[in-house]
Chain A
Amino acid sequence: MKKLLILGAGTAGTMMANHLNKKLNKNEWSITIIDQDEKHYYQPGFLFIPFEIYSEKDVIKEKRRFLPPGVEFIQSPIQIIEAEKNQVKLNDGKIIPYDILIIATGCRIVPSEIEGLDEGWRKNIFDFYTFDGSVALRNKLKEWKGGRLVVHLAEMPIKCPVAPLEFLFLSDWFFAKKGIRKDVDITYVTPLGSAFTKPRASAVLGNLFVTKNIHIVPNFNVSHVEADQNKLVSLDGKEVEYDLLVTIPTNMGDEMIERSGLGDELNFVPTDKHTLQSKNYENIFVIGDATDIPASKAGSVAHFEAEILTENIISFINNKPLEAKFDGHANCYIESGYNKAFLIDFNYDVEPVEGTFPLAGIGPFSLLKETRINHLGKMAFKFIYWNMLLKGIPIPTVPPHMKTSGKKL
């Protein structure tokens, strides 16, 4: 009996377990999946918790519910991958050998990468990239009377690159509803040259910051935080003061990747951007936020990758060339407040442009336009995630490769 081992039962790992469970010959292959956590978190929902649009129950469910019965689930932290020996060691010392390994251990924020953050952490410095963080921030916002709100991006890449922008727009709306918008100064501090860096998107979305009265400090590479002074300081000595800091710290792959000697300087695994095969080991594949490929780190990307990777793993097992090629396809809603949202659809070669999605000329969603339907799409995503996406059920009319029909290229 041969063994296919999946590390991480988050968005990508769970989808792969479901896809492969349907495709692999059970007389020859067994599938095992390992994760340290028994709970599955719907991370896109973390954005809505601080604003009391979602609560705890919207974003947490048991992991096992989404894994097919034929797949073995081990709940344990993974200590190390010993790639030369084709085996993985768990924290209790147990060894799990594999024939094929899929790394789907994602990435997470590492606040300790920025000096000084710890001192103000959860006092007047918060994140919304973790479940705990989003809940703590909700509690803070309940009592906050206004002042300087600074939303800060430490460095790229981060998962869900549009989330900081969505947070800004939702803040503007939230404080307006509370009647204290005039008492809140909202500033976005980013290491990038502007909030929107792709020319076509900038042209359409560029004035959003002006109309919503959100200030921006671009080209700001953070050096450290002076928590006692409520100040962010950049590498070239610029300073930004805050009363409430919402930061997206450095995102990194899991430390286990570093211990295993498999990562780059941010613990992301070097991966072929088309086939999703590891660049160093033939029988290791990588999917989702754990890869170093130049695609967005998003659940939608993991979803498209999963279909490609399933095909390639079947080819690999049959000693055939890996012909399925991932094109970098991503599809993201951008919540903009007031029950409206934008939608962007893009890949490695085509930047976000205007048009309709998923059906050419019909939609119902509009690309790079602010509509109510787009917002409804974003809110429906929670249902689709729990009921279709995780289980590997294809979404009709949304194939893994980006369609160019219906787009103004």
Chain B
Amino acid sequence: MAEKLIAGYTVDVNEEGYLTNPDQWNKEIAAEIAQELGLGELTERHWKVIEFLQNDFKANGKLPTIRRVNKVGGISTKELYELFPDGPLVKAAKVAGLSKPASCV
């Protein structure tokens, strides 16, 4: 397990820079990861997505699908793409401090 300094905090990350300990996440870390991913300043609409992902992950133990973000989270797929272009779930999950969408290998 690697450690990384993000926004002045030392956090545990995996090989690809995803946080591995959700307790270490905070909003400043999210903002810096967003910068790294080229998403710019996080807006209220971004936070709505991040909060939905985190709450849903807590409840179900897994990252929701784009379909679920739309149906249950009420965030349209079009908007999700505008907020997190090119691979929205991959990027949103990273900002939210969650594991990335995975297959089994």
Bound together: yes
A-to-B contact residues, CB < 8 Å:
155-157, 161-162, 165, 191-193, 196-199, 201, 205, 218-219, 221, 235-236, 264-266, 270, 273, 292, 294, 296, 330, 332, 334, 344, 346, 352
CA distance A205 to B105 in the complex (A): 9
CA A193 – CA B37 in complex, angstroms? 14
Whether the pair A265, B16 counts as a contact (CB closer than 8 A) is: no
Rounded to whole angstroms, the CA-CA distance of A332 and B105 in the bound complex is 10
* CA gap between A61 and B100 in the complex, in Å: 40
A219 in contact with B81 given A162-B104, A265-B72 (CB within 8 Å): no
Give the A-binding residues of B (Cβ under 8 A): 14-16, 60-62, 65-68, 71-72, 77-78, 81, 85-88, 90, 100-105
* Chain B facing A: main interface SS: loop
Would you give the shortest CB distance from A334 to chain B, in whole angstroms? 7
Q: How far is the CA of A292 from the CA of B71 in the complex (A)?
A: 16
In-complex Cβ contact of A235 among B81, B100, B101, B102 (8 A): B81
Contact B81 A161 (CB under 8 A): no
Contact of A193 with B68 in the complex, beta carbons under 8 Å: no
Other A-B pairs, 13, CB within 8 Å; known A192-B90, A198-B104: A161-B103, A162-B104, A197-B100, A197-B101, A197-B103, A199-B15, A205-B105, A221-B88, A235-B81, A265-B68, A266-B68, A292-B60, A294-B62
Residue of B with least CB distance to A298: B104
Using known A-B contacts A197-B100, A265-B67, A266-B67, determine if residue A344 contacts B105 with beta carbons closer than 8 Å.
yes
Question: What residues of chain B lie closer than 8 Å to A198, measured between beta carbons?
Answer: 102-105
CB distance from A278 to the nearest CB of B (A): 14
Judged by DSSP, the binding face of A is: loop
Cα(A334)–Cα(B65), bound, Å:
25
Q: Which one of B16, B60, B103, B104 lies within 8 Å of A199 (CB-CB)? A: B16
Contact A264 B68 (CB under 8 A): yes
Q: Which residue of B lies closest to A264 (CB)?
A: B68
Q: Are A235 and B62 in contact (CB under 8 A)?
A: no
Q: Which residues of A contact B85 (CB under 8 A)?
A: 236
B61 and A273 contacting across the interface, CB-CB below 8 Å = yes
Contacts of A334 in B (CB 8 A): 105
CB distance from A341 to the nearest CB of B (A): 13
Q: Across the two chains, which residue of chain A brings its CB closest to B103?
A: A161
Nearest to A330 among chain B residues (CB) is: B104
Q: Are A294 and B61 in contact (CB under 8 A)?
A: yes
Query: For residue A270, which residue of chain B has the nearest CB?
Result: B60
The answer for the CA separation of A30 and B76 in the assembled complex, in Å, is 48
